[in-house]
Amino acid sequence: MLMMLGFGALLFHVSCKSEHHEKEEEVKFLVTNPVQKDTLITKDYVSQIQSSRHIELRAQERGYLQKIYVDEGAFVKEGQLLFQILPRIYEAEVQKSKAEAEVAKIEYENTKLLADSDVVSKNELAMAKAKMDKANAELSLANVHLGFTQIRAPFDGIVDRFHVRLGSLVDEGELLTNLSDNSTMWVYYNVPEAEYLDYQENITKTEKPQVNLLMANNKYFKHPGVVETIEADFNNETGNIPFRASFPNPEGLLRHGETGNVHVTIPITDALLIPQKATFEVLDKKYVYVVDKDHKVKSREITIINELPHIYVVSEGLSVNDLILLEGLRLVRENDKIEYKVKDAESVISNLDLYAE
């Protein structure tokens, strides 16, 4: 009986010791330091995608739309016939002008024979020559008007929606359709003034920064683009200035009028990095818990300039020597005294995918 009591007391003592040990382990908070290193951050800008050449095709003469040779959305080649406006009036004008030009030519030749024989003066010959030139000019003009009844593609591109139908009476200047050259796409995005100034300080005259395009389906366009131009003026209302990047589009995936997000990769020297999980938010401001030399927890506001997967890039509020609480943020309060274990900062950053909550 005494042996059983002794054995029970021993088990109780071991159990209590084990519980006490577990409690000690539970109050050991994990802390780490910010990491300072060169890194790359990505800036994200909403963008508008446009064809490098996007034009309106309009009727140049009045008349009935006699033929449409292509369909909406068709790819056409430069010079390909797209629309035919009924040409009969203009064909008649050409025939009339051709006859008048022939008459003027005959009159000129007859006058020249007479002038060579000194029957008529040189002034009469010059007058006949002028009449012939005028008739030829009117013939050329009539041919131009006849040519305007055929609307051809000025460059390779994709035909947009038709604004008229076969048999419509179209007026001079009326919109027929649009034509887009999608071989190269221009992507416009707005950059705030401060970022524009940083860009101008870091760019060289021979360098054209590459950017990437995140499409509406949340996938990256396979071809990187190049920043080529910056517009002249800032928008006084927004404080932004438009940038334009050019993207090759050999597969024709991008179309005029699409939207996306331009991602610009920017190198930062000696960036201060902390895990996102080490922060908390109060009234839209970011804070961390800093552990002082007396093991007391102090909340501190920080300024975040960018974020990476599981990581914040901090510009103000911390230094590499600060100890920040990594886990258990909800278990402590301001000025609590804690016991902690320091986790190597590089190890924490490199394993954030594993430790991320």
CATH no., domain 87-148:
1.10.287.470
Look at the domain 28-37+270-355 and name its fold. 2.40.420
Tell me, what's the pLDDT at 90?
Answer: 79
In DSSP terms, 324 is beta-bridged to 32, 290
Q: Which residue in the block uniquely carries the two structure tokens 């446009």?
A: 50
338 in Cβ contact with 354 (< 8 Å): no
Phi/psi of residue 235, nearest 5 degrees: -80, 115
pTM over 0.85: no
Distance between CA 251 and CA 339 in Å, rounded?
A: 60
Nearest to 307 by CA among 39, 47, 46: 39
Residue 318 in 3-state DSSP?
coil
Q: With CA atoms as reference, report the closest residue to 167 among 74, 93, 83.
A: 83
pLDDT in tens, the chain (357 residues): 444 544 455 445 545 554 444 444 556 898 999 988 888 878 889 999 999 999 999 998 888 999 999 999 999 999 999 999 887 777 778 788 888 888 888 888 888 888 887 777 888 888 888 988 898 898 888 888 888 888 999 999 999 999 999 988 999 999 999 999 999 999 999 999 988 888 887 776 667 788 999 999 999 999 999 999 999 999 988 999 999 999 999 999 999 999 999 998 877 888 889 999 889 998 889 999 999 999 999 999 999 888 888 888 898 999 989 999 988 888 889 999 989 888 888 888 877 654 444
Query: What's the rounded Cα separation, in Å, for the pair 262 and 213?
Result: 5
Continuous segment of H or E residues that includes residue 150: strand 150-152
What number of other Cβ atoms are within 10 A of residue 104's Cβ? 21
Q: What is the pLDDT of residue 353?
A: 57
Q: What is the structure's pLDDT at 117?
A: 79
What DSSP string runs through 206-227? Answer: T---EEEEEETTS-B-SS-EEE
What span, in angstroms and rounded, lies between the C-alpha atoms of 264 and 213? Answer: 9
Burial track 249-283 (b if 16+ CB lie within 10 A, e otherwise): beeeebbbebebbbbbeeebeebbbbbbbbbeeee
**Three-state DSSP class for residue 145:** helix
Say what the pLDDT of residue 15 is.
52
The pLDDT of residue 219: 94
**Quick one: pLDDT at residue 248?**
96
Q: Which candidate, 211, 84, 207, places its Cα nearest to that of 148?
A: 84
Degrees (nearest 5) of the Cα angle 174, 178, 179?
Answer: 135
Contact 60, 116 (CB under 8 A): no
The residues, any chain, with a CB within 8 Å of residue 179's CB and separated by 6 or more, are: 53, 54, 55, 57, 76, 153, 154, 155, 157, 158, 159, 160
Closest CA to 268 of 38, 34, 44: 38
Q: Give Cβ neighbours of residue 214 (< 8 Å, ≥ 6 apart).
A: 44, 220, 221, 260, 261, 262, 263
Angle between helices 88-116 and 122-147 (to 10 degrees): 160
Q: Which residues of the chain does CATH 2.40.420.20 include?
A: 28-37+270-355
Per-residue tokens: 140: 């050329």
